[in-house]
Amino acid sequence: MASTRINNLYCPCTYETSAECFSSAEAAQAIFQYIQQRSESQSQNVDALMQRIKQLEEKLASLSAHNATLQEAVQRMQSGFRQHRSEVVSADQLCFVLPEFACEQSTGGGCEQGSSKPSDKAAGTEQGNSGAGDKPKKPSRHRRRY
pLDDT in tens, the chain (146 residues): 444 444 445 555 555 455 456 678 888 888 888 888 887 777 788 888 999 999 999 999 999 999 999 999 998 888 877 776 666 667 777 676 666 655 555 555 554 444 444 444 444 444 555 555 567 677 667 666 66
Q: 144 in a domain, yes or no?
A: no
Give the residue from 124, 104, 125 showing the smallest Cα distance to 114: 104
Residue 27, H or E segment: helix 24-85
- Residue 38: per-residue pLDDT: 81
Q: What is the pTM of this model?
A: 0.33
Residues 75 and 16 in one domain: yes
125's CB contacts (< 8 A; 6+ apart) are 133
Q: Looking at the DSSP assignment, which residues form a beta bridge with residue 75?
A: none
Residues 67 and 96 in one domain: no
- Residue 65: per-residue pLDDT: 96
Q: 135 in a domain, yes or no?
A: no
CA distance 137 to 64: 58
- Residue 103: per-residue pLDDT: 57
Q: Is 18 within 8 Å of 4 (Cβ atoms)? A: yes
Q: 145 in a domain, yes or no?
A: no
What is the tally of structural domains in the chain? Answer: 2
CA distance 12 to 18: 8
Residues 22 and 63 in one domain: yes
Q: 97 in a domain, yes or no?
A: yes
Residues 52 and 73 in one domain: yes
Residues 79 and 8 in one domain: yes
Q: Looking at the DSSP assignment, which residues form a beta bridge with residue 11?
A: 4
Q: 133 in a domain, yes or no?
A: no
Residue 112 lies in domain: 91-127
